[in-house]
Amino acid sequence: MSPEISTRALLDTLAEGAGGEALTLGGLLDQFRERAYGVFLLVSVLPAFVPLPIGAGAISGPLVSLIGLQLLAQMDHPWVPKFIARRELSRDGVTKFRNRTQRLLGWIEKVSRPRTETLIDHPVARTFTGGLLVVLGALLALPLPATNYPFGLILLAYAIALIERDGRLMAIAWVLGVAEIATMALFSGQIAAWVAKLFS
């Protein structure tokens, strides 16, 4: 069983390191097997909160969809390509993310705890979560302005729910995810025109 850990404690581990040793995504997922999907999702959303020279969604989106596909397939442990699993995590990026979300995470941790875990572990729940993540990841990958933070915050709710094993928070994340997808569908015409103009 995975060791108990809060989201903020996990971020402290990533930012400060364990005994000065290099920390890779693959090693982290092996360490927190029961919470591995939440850990993977948390690491995947980090670029959405850290300014990058290229679109953060182009990095985070495909990883989020990959996680969703594996949940759809009911895989017990996430699979990560070797070149990603062996990559050392950027402590500087994690530190920036932790500092930016410290107050939000502190509030969430006060109300979040392991409960209603059926909404985390049940095959139907995992399928629904996976399907939403596939769509949200695909939308995040689109080169749309001012979408990183809205998508990032919603995906952060999924990650925390998986790490804290909080089924009630997962239910809230489902509602937020469906609302975001519906909003994007409502404005799909404008979005298509924007993308076409961007690549014309």
Q: Which domain holds residue 98?
A: 7-199
Q: What span, in angstroms and rounded, lies between the C-alpha atoms of 178 and 55?
A: 24
How many domains are contained in the chain?
A: 1
pLDDT of residue 1: 47
**Domain assignment of residue 84, yes or no:** yes
**Domain assignment of residue 2, yes or no:** no
pLDDT of residue 53: 46
User: Alpha-carbon torsion 14, 16, 19, 24, what sign?
Assistant: positive
pLDDT of residue 137: 92
**Domain assignment of residue 77, yes or no:** yes
**Domain assignment of residue 32, yes or no:** yes
Q: Provide the b/e sequence for 156-165 (b: ≥16 CB within 10 Å).
A: bbbbbbbbbb
pLDDT of residue 44: 87
**Domain assignment of residue 1, yes or no:** no
Tell me the mean pLDDT per 10 residues along the chain, length 200. 63 63 75 82 80 64 94 92 79 73 75 89 96 93 74 89 92 95 78 61
